[in-house]
Amino acid sequence: MAAGRCRRPFGPGQAGYRAFGHLAALALGSLCLAGCVAYQPPQFELNLEGRPKGSVSREQAEAITKMLERLFGTPDQPRVPEGSGLDAELLAMAAGPPTGDPQGGVRGLFRRHCATCHGISGDGAGPTALVLDPSPRDFRRGIFKYTSTKAGIKPLKSDLRRTLLRGVPGTAMPSFAQLAPRELDALVEYVKYLSIRGETELYLLEQVVDEEVRLPLDKDMVLDEGVLPVARAWDAPEQDPGLRIEPGPRPPIDTPQQLADSIAKGRALYASKEAQCVKCHGPNGDGKGEEEELYDDWNKPKKGVTPQQTAELARRFKLPLQRLRPRDFRQGTFRGGIGPQGRYLYDRIYAGIKGTPMPGLGPGPGSKAVIPPEDIWHIVDYVLSLSRKNP
Amino acid sequence: MGKRFTRRDLLVASAGATAGLATGLAVPHVVIAQSDQWGDLVGRLVYDGNPPERKKLKVDKDVDCCGKFDIRDESLMVGPDHGLANVFVYLRSRKVQIAPELAESAPKQVVLDNRDCIFKPHCMAIWYPQQEYAIINSDPIAQNVAFSPLGDTPANIILAPIKEGQDDPNTRATWRFNRAQIVPVPIACNYHPWESAFVLPRDNPYVAITAMDGTFRIAKLPVGTWEFQAWQERVGYLDLPQWPKGRFEVAIRPGVNDLGTIRVPAARFERK
């Protein structure tokens, strides 16, 4: 559907592709019998989501797609922008058609395992996305929910890897634990690549369409202002342990009495004026708090002030508006997982869930802890007790 | 651009323009080199129509605390004498020279207060390399401050309630922006959906927000021809016949440069 809408007029390097297409057709034509179709290399689609039709001129669209191709290449032939720190070898394993390469090397992992839901461009709008709730993650905003980093900080690569290994329970995202370790590394690298590319694209849209900078674009400016700040943001938590969550000491829960005490403390904190968990998750932990109109960062742009505005805005996106449902803890399904001793749950209560209204109780960059980090463990124990799960 | 320059402006501008082009900066407008002459831009925006009634907002959370306040829509603020308030008017041109005394006189902090269950003030500008953003809570309930500036760290902060007679250090966050935005960033409270504010981080101090009488002043601009942007939260770019996309150029001369009164038709703000 919409997937093909913008591709033709805005395709990067149209002339080049046509020439390539002709050559490929000639080559294949001599090998193929009737019914054989020449391979059409897929292209990244320009991110027009949220912008009204006609708000991006053809000249602007071409300037953006050409610059992105110069820096990041194509879905078949990814390129590593200078200074981005991306690993070309890993990207090559994930990129390309899903058929692999003739020498038997690993190629095309992303299209084999991910693109059906997450889309060739990582826009979360692959062919199956329309029927999924929640929608698959759109990587282009550079926001990931399940991380071990502080509020507002990019995920560690090991966090993305964890999501691949565990899957996301309660959603269509399965576990990819059957893949080889290096294949997982390749997919993590490719998600990071699509994400840096996506944020660079948002920067380019801002500069070219909204700010109307003079064309042609200056590559060094795009690298300095677009690519490198994003690459640095990814690198920051890998380098600086201070940006990762440091859990407080875990209170002992070795005896039934200790666990019961921790749960009781957690129950009080859960309802406290400071933590305010009840506001969204409800006094019973069933996800029925007083906040009803909650949306995540991917859906907020589809929401207007009036119903008419919302209808008009939602039409600009490929996927429908989805309201956020705070988790019902009694069901015991935790999308981000529970983790050893409840550590993954702890991290989400500490730093919040990125891209959602869920704020964190632990200290963040520039903000102080709302309750002492060791007390967050009590909330973990209480939340788990609601579904009778033990940490 | 060039066509509106006077001969003198061009002479002043030429050196800087060459420097700007040589470094490949994609500035929308010409860069002026050194200036020791500064001018203020002033003007007044007027709402051309009857001041609209500000709708009372639905306050259905923390009613014990917030229910007692008369909380109304702030998306279109018109003063008693039809002044159009809360319009951001700011320099659009990049890489300008900044009057040295502005760095000394600018307050070190811009404060966003949560008070009486709304954000105060509603509109703020921040010169981010010079100023930090202090986010405080003055209410006896927990508050949340959430914003996602493009290409910058997103914030989703809980501010603990103040306790009686105590200056609780937990009720304060100190935020730093790392990047200029081209339009103001919306701020929301995930606890209280009626709360709203806007902050515009820029890499220069040349931003004004119109007061309740519609007046604004951008002080100590370098002399030269510059482009400005006007933005209002309900309509975005304040598009007027004389200000396409809310943009306009002014040749700033030493002293006060008065744009006079700019009338904005009421129809501009109607919600579909």
User: Residue B69 to residues B77, B80, B141, B190: CA-CA distances in angstroms?
Assistant: 18, 21, 14, 19
pLDDT of A37: 72
Percentage above 70 pLDDT, chain B: 85
pLDDT of B272: 57
Chain A residue with CA closest to B181: the answer is: A206
Torsion angle defined by CA atoms of residues A177, A182, A188 and A190, in that order, rounded to the nearest 10 degrees:
-130
Chain A residue with CA closest to B175: the answer is: A366
Do residues B8 and B223 lie in contact, with contact meaning Cβ atoms separated by under 8 Å?
no
Instruction: Tokens 């501008």: give the residue.
Output: B13
Q: What is the pLDDT of residues A232-244, one digit of tens each?
A: 999 999 999 999 9
Task: State the complex-level ipTM.
Answer: 0.87
Q: Is B127 helix (H, G, I), strand (E, B) or coil?
A: strand
Reported confidence tier of residue A360, pLDDT bands at 50, 70, 90:
very high
Across the interface, whether the CB atoms of A229 and B26 are under 8 A apart is answered no
Residue A62, φ and ψ in degrees, nearest 5 = -65, -40
Across the interface, whether the CB atoms of A361 and B158 are under 8 A apart is answered yes
pLDDT of A38: 80
Q: Is A195 helix (H, G, I), strand (E, B) or coil?
A: helix
Distance from CA of B140 to the nearest CA of A (A): 9
Among the ranges given (A24-38, A171-185, A252-266), the one the predictor scored with the smallest mean pLDDT: A24-38
A273 closest CB neighbour out of B141, B150, B190: B141
Across the interface, whether the CB atoms of B169 and A229 are under 8 A apart is answered no
pLDDT of A9: 38
Across the interface, whether the CB atoms of B27 and A211 are under 8 A apart is answered no
Pairing state between β B247-252 and B132-137: unpaired
Residue A29: count other Cβ atoms within 10 Å of its Cβ: 10
| DSSP 8-state assignment for residue A210 | I
Closest by Cα among A269, A245, A371 to B168? A371
Q: Which residue has better confidence, A241 or A12?
A: A241
User: Residue A170 to residues A72, A119, A124, A144, A286: CA-CA distances in angstroms?
Assistant: 34, 21, 17, 17, 15
Mutate to test the interface with A, among B156, B168, B174, B229 (most CBs of A within 10 A): B156
Q: Which residue has better confidence, A9 or A294?
A: A294
Burial of A154 (0-12, 13-18, 19+ CB in 10 A): buried
Mean pLDDT of B64-71: 96
Tell me: pLDDT of A33 over 70.
no
Please provide the average confidence, as pLDDT, over all residues in chain B.
87
pLDDT of A104: 79
Distance from CA of B240 to the nearest CA of A (A): 17
Across the interface, whether the CB atoms of B271 and A306 are under 8 A apart is answered yes
| DSSP 8-state assignment for residue A156 | P
Full DSSP string of B34-55 = ----EEEEEEEEEEESSPPPPP
Q: Give the containing element (helix H, strand E) for A159.
A: helix A157-166
Mean pLDDT of B127-133: 97
pLDDT of A293: 87
pLDDT of B35: 64
Q: What is the pLDDT of residues B12-29, one digit of tens each?
A: 333 333 333 333 334 444
Mean pLDDT of B87-97: 92
Q: What is the pLDDT of residues A124-142, one digit of tens each?
A: 999 999 999 999 999 999 9
Q: What is the pLDDT of residues A267-322, one digit of tens each?
A: 999 999 999 999 999 999 999 998 878 999 999 999 988 899 999 999 999 999 99
Please provide the average confidence, as pLDDT, over all residues in chain A.
90
Do residues B210 and B45 lie in contact, with contact meaning Cβ atoms separated by under 8 Å?
yes
Closest by Cα among A56, A51, A71 to A221? A71
Reported confidence tier of residue A266, pLDDT bands at 50, 70, 90:
very high
Percentage above 90 pLDDT, chain A: 82
Q: Is A56 helix (H, G, I), strand (E, B) or coil?
A: coil
Chain B residue with CA closest to A273: the answer is: B142
Distance from CA of B39 to the nearest CA of A (A): 25
pLDDT of A39: 82
> CA gyration radius for chain A?
23
A308 closest CB neighbour out of B60, B150, B272: B272
Q: What is the pLDDT of residues B41-54, one digit of tens each?
A: 999 999 999 999 99
Q: Which residue has better confidence, A299 or B95?
A: A299
A274 closest CB neighbour out of B135, B142, B271: B142
- Side chain identity, residue B238: L
Do residues A268 and A380 lie in contact, with contact meaning Cβ atoms separated by under 8 Å?
no
pLDDT of A35: 53
Q: What is the pLDDT of residues A366-383, one digit of tens each?
A: 899 999 999 999 999 999
pLDDT of A291: 83
pLDDT of B50: 92
Do residues A230 and A200 lie in contact, with contact meaning Cβ atoms separated by under 8 Å?
yes
pLDDT of A390: 64
Q: What is the pLDDT of residues B193-250, one digit of tens each?
A: 999 999 999 999 999 999 999 999 999 999 999 999 999 999 999 999 999 999 999 9
Spatial separation of the C-alpha atoms in residues A134 and A298, rounded to whole Å: 11
Instruction: Tokens 């689609």: give the residue.
Output: A45
Residues in chain B, how many?
A: 272
Spatial separation of the C-alpha atoms in residues B137 and B113, rounded to whole Å: 6
Across the interface, whether the CB atoms of A291 and B153 are under 8 A apart is answered no
pLDDT of A7: 38
pLDDT of A99: 81
Q: Where are the alpha helices (DSSP H) in A288-342?
A: 307-314
Contacts of B173 in chain A (CB under 8 A): 366-368
